[in-house]
Amino acid sequence: MTPMTSPAAAPTVTLVVPNFNHAHYLPESLGSIANQTRAPDRVIVIDDCSTDDSIAVIERFLSDRPSWRLIRHGTNQGVVRGQNEALAIADTAWIGFLGADDALHPTYLEKAMAQAANHPDAGLIVACCEIIGPKGPSAKRMLRPVMLLAPASAMLTPADIRQALRFGDNYFSGTTSLYRRTALQALGGFDVKLGSFSDAFLARRLALTYGCYFIAEALGYWRIHGQNYSTATATDPASLNAKLAEIGALIAHSKLFPDGYDNVFARRNRFGAARMVLGGETAPSAKAARISALLDGNELDTQLLRLLLSFGSAGHLAALAWMALRTRPMSLTRLLAQTTARRAILSATPGYRAP
Domain C-terminal end among 198, 229, 260: 229
β-strands 13-19, 42-47: how paired? parallel
- Asked whether residue 201 falls in the same domain as residue 245, the answer is no
Contact at 8 Å (CB) between 124 and 178? yes
Q: Is residue 353 part of a domain?
A: no
pLDDT at 137: 87
pLDDT at 138: 81
CA distance 23 to 56: 9
Q: What is the CATH number of the domain that holds 17?
A: 3.90.550.10
Contact at 8 Å (CB) between 294 and 237? yes
With a cut of 70, list the residues of the chain below it in pLDDT: 1-8, 226-233
Domain C-terminal end among 229, 245, 279: 229
Q: How many domains does the chain divide into?
A: 2
Contact at 8 Å (CB) between 210 and 183? yes
pLDDT at 140: 87
- Asked whether residue 161 falls in the same domain as residue 310, the answer is no
In angstroms, the Cα distances linking 9 to 69, 118, 120, 129, 232 are 24, 12, 11, 29, 42
Burial 208-233 (b: 16+ CB within 10 A, else e): bebbbbbbbbbbbbbbbeeebbbbeb
pLDDT at 1: 45
In the chain, the amino acid numbered 81 is R
Q: Is residue 351 part of a domain?
A: no
pLDDT at 266: 96
Q: Is residue 84 part of a domain?
A: yes
pLDDT digits (tens, 9 = 90+) for 134-147: 888 888 899 999 99
DSSP E strands in 193-318: the ranges are 212-223
- Asked whether residue 135 falls in the same domain as residue 246, the answer is no
Q: Is residue 112 part of a domain?
A: yes
Give 336's contacts (C-beta < 8 A, 6+ positions apart): none
Q: Is residue 338 part of a domain?
A: no
CA distance 127 to 147: 12
SS3 string, 32-60, reads HHHCCCCCCCEEEEEECCCCCCHHHHHHH
- Asked whether residue 239 falls in the same domain as residue 197, the answer is no
Tell me the helix, strand and coil percentages in the chain, rounded to 5: 50, 15, 35
pLDDT at 235: 86
- Asked whether residue 118 falls in the same domain as residue 180, the answer is yes
Q: Is residue 151 part of a domain?
A: yes
pLDDT at 8: 66
Contact at 8 Å (CB) between 326 and 295? yes
- Asked whether residue 320 falls in the same domain as residue 199, the answer is no
Domain limits for position 274 = 235-330
Q: Is residue 35 part of a domain?
A: yes
- Asked whether residue 178 falls in the same domain as residue 38, the answer is yes
- Asked whether residue 167 falls in the same domain as residue 280, the answer is no
- Asked whether residue 298 falls in the same domain as residue 203, the answer is no
CA distance 121 to 94: 11
pLDDT digits (tens, 9 = 90+) for 182-233: 999 999 999 999 998 999 999 999 999 999 999 999 999 999 876 555 566 6
H or E segment to which residue 85 belongs:
helix 79-89
Domain C-terminal end among 196, 214, 229: 229
pLDDT at 229: 55
pLDDT at 280: 81
In angstroms, the Cα distances linking 264 to 15, 169, 260, 318, 328 are 32, 9, 7, 23, 9
Q: Is residue 28 part of a domain?
A: yes
Give 159's contacts (C-beta < 8 A, 6+ positions apart): none
- Asked whether residue 143 falls in the same domain as residue 159, the answer is yes
- Asked whether residue 274 falls in the same domain as residue 258, the answer is yes
- Asked whether residue 242 falls in the same domain as residue 125, the answer is no
CA distance 153 to 115: 10
